[in-house]
Amino acid sequence: MLNEKIAALLNDQVNKELYSAYLYLDFANYFEDEGLDGFAHWYEIQAQEERDHAFMIRRYLIDSGHRVTFEAVAKPDKTFKTHLDPLTAGLEHEKYVTSLICAIYAEAFAAKDFKTMQFLDWFVKEQGEEEKNADDLIKKMKLFGSEPKGLYMLNQELAARVYNAPAQAE
Ligand code: FEO
């Protein structure tokens, strides 16, 4: 069993990850409207990965002997004026999620809960990768996205993203 505070934080993180999936699907909706199907595809896969994160944490709680309870998932409420806006919002969101994961890690560290720390190691690494991916996308958009041919090529590149289930979620 985990201590109650850590279990509650992890339970809440399931909700946060499901919200992340919802948020990125909303980004995909925006890009579908804009006719950028490659960007939409990229965010659909991002949403699938967030769903995986939620499943992984739910499974960890259950395997640790905890009951998982669900709250309502918040409605994504962002509006975008430019194609860059969702990309910027995505990076900000990932930084926020990193802060949440680190806060749980800090609790686990304080409680000498080495099992949870080991479980969260994957998420700490994943957050580093997700922040880098979001930042790389912003850089590419700034470099190439302001003219039609560049935007077309970038859309093609993002359309090639392949979904891979995370090792822990398999
Ligand atoms: Fe599950 Fe993008 O953090």
Q: What is the pLDDT of residues 42-82, one digit of tens each?
A: 999 999 999 999 999 999 999 999 999 999 999 998 999 99
Task: Give the pLDDT confidence score for residue 98 in this predicted structure.
Answer: 98
Global pTM? Answer: 0.95
CA atoms within 13 A on the CB side of 71: 13
Q: How far apart are CA 127 and CA 133, in angstroms?
A: 10
Ligand 1 atom closest to the CA of 53, numbered from 1: 1
| Ligand 1 centroid from CA 46, angstroms | 8
Q: Is the dihedral of CA 84, 85, 86, 90 positive or negative?
A: positive
Ligand 1 atom closest to the CA of 54, numbered from 1: 1
Nearest CA, atom 2, ligand 1: 94
Q: What is the pLDDT of residues 75-134, one digit of tens each?
A: 998 999 999 999 999 999 999 999 999 999 999 999 999 999 999 999 999 999 999 999
Task: Give the pLDDT confidence score for residue 57 in this predicted structure.
Answer: 98
Q: How far apart are CA 134 and CA 118, in angstroms?
A: 25
CB 44 within 8 A of CB 31: no
Task: Indicate if ligand 1 lies below 6 Å from the C-beta of 56.
Answer: no
| Ligand 1 centroid from CA 138, angstroms | 17
Ligand 1 atom closest to the CA of 130, numbered from 1: 2
Q: How far apart are CA 12 and CA 54, in angstroms?
A: 10
Task: Indicate if ligand 1 lies below 6 Å from the C-beta of 113.
Answer: no
Task: Indicate if ligand 1 lies below 6 Å from the C-beta of 94.
Answer: yes
Residue 167 has pLDDT above 80, yes or no: no
Query: pLDDT grade, residue 1 (50/70/90)?
Result: confident
Question: Among candidates 72, 31, 48, which has minimal Cα distance to 159?
Answer: 31
Query: pLDDT grade, residue 170 (50/70/90)?
Result: very low
Task: Indicate if ligand 1 lies below 6 Å from the C-beta of 130.
Answer: yes
| Ligand 1 centroid from CA 101, angstroms | 9
Q: What is the pLDDT of residues 7-39, one digit of tens each?
A: 999 999 999 999 999 999 999 999 999 999 999
Domains by residue range for the chain, with CATH: 4-71+80-159 (1.20.1260.10)
